[in-house]
Homo-oligomer: A and B are copies of this chain.
Amino acid sequence: MHKLASTKKPALDISGIYPPITTPFNDREQVDYAKLDENLQKYSSIPFRGIVVQGSNGEYTYLSKEERLEVVHRVRQKLPKEKILMAGSGCESTQATIEMSRQMAEAGAEAVLVVTPCYYRGRMTSAALVHHYTQVADSSPVPVILYSVPGNTALDLPLDAVVTLAEHPNIIGIKDSGGDITRMGLIIHKTQHLAFQVLSGSAGFLLPGYAIGAVGGVCALANILGTQLCELERLCVGGQWQEARKLQYRLIEPNAAVTRRFGIPGLKQAMEWFGYHGGNCRSPLLPLTEQEQKDLRKVFSSYGWL
């Protein structure tokens, strides 16, 4: 079902489910590598295709360059060899993104996930973004995956830019978190002749994503309900849609709760309940209020997950 329509073989087959892992901090807001290791240890029993380090949920914008690289380095050491480490290397400037991509590859990333630069969004035209990604892909030692996340960047990587960039031999796919399933269908259709792979950027539309031809997903919710998301993948890939639908339904609101509704503080809080190390975020992200915690818990319990 989710096999590539294209006869071309991608440089790296990225089909599957990935948790975009969070970064655990200690009480002084320093990266807590021991806790990170323990989370990874727990994830190792789940049939993930790999791990995304420093997607939006990794609070990458709050990490220094050195921290970003160190985290990638540590994850690669702990991660089983057959699992893909996809590292978020996006920066606002092209030059910084190029350097970060190179260094992340050196630190062990199999692929880099490059978020759209967005601060000067009025000038982030298709031409500018194509130029940016082309330069990054030209020089990246590992394959590049585009990353469009309008919920954070307030910018959708334009469809025509995606289609143009899909031709680049070192750009192998996109993580699309916008949730516009029509757009996803069109991207898949227009890149069918290439070995371009589309990943759903959220658990909320994982089933529709598979139905329209996506090959996997990078889902915040996989930090908590990884086994279930891999099960949903299995059902979709195996064509068991009736069963898949039932499972998908139970994941929509929990997913919304740890993304749009309560953000990373919600995700980290829920991780604690599921046996992972979540903890606090770096400031200015505030921890949940007590009421928010109750509301969040209720979402998970009402669907039988807690």
Contacts and interface: CB of A to CB of B under 8 A. Distances in A.
Interface stretch (A40-48, A73-81, A113-121): A113-121
Contact of A241 (B56, B121, B124, B211): B211
A249 B188 contact: yes
Interface in A273-306: 282-286
Contacts of A129: 284
Given A1-B241, A131-B284, A241-B211, A204 B182 contact: yes
A186 B252 contact: yes
A117 B135 CA distance: 28
Contacts of A186: 249, 252-253
Interface in A221-277: 239, 241-242, 245, 248-250, 252-253, 256, 260, 262-265
A152 B265 contact: no
A127 interface: yes
A95 B252 contact: no
Given A93-B62, A182-B204, A285 B120 contact: yes
A252 B213 CA distance: 14
A10 interface: no
A175 to B, nearest CB: 16
A244 B170 CA distance: 31
A132 interface: yes
Contact of A249 (B62, B92, B132, B189): B189
Interface in A106-134: 117, 119-125, 127-129, 131-132
B62 A92 contact: yes
Contact of A263 (B56, B96, B122): B122
A62 B207 CA distance: 38
Interface string A164-198: 00000000000000011110011011001000000
Nearest to A92: B61
Top 9 A-B residue pairs of the complex, sorted by shortest distance between their CB atoms: A211-B211, A154-B154, A132-B284, A189-B249, A94-B283, A208-B208, A62-B93, A182-B204, A61-B92
A61 to B, nearest CB: 4
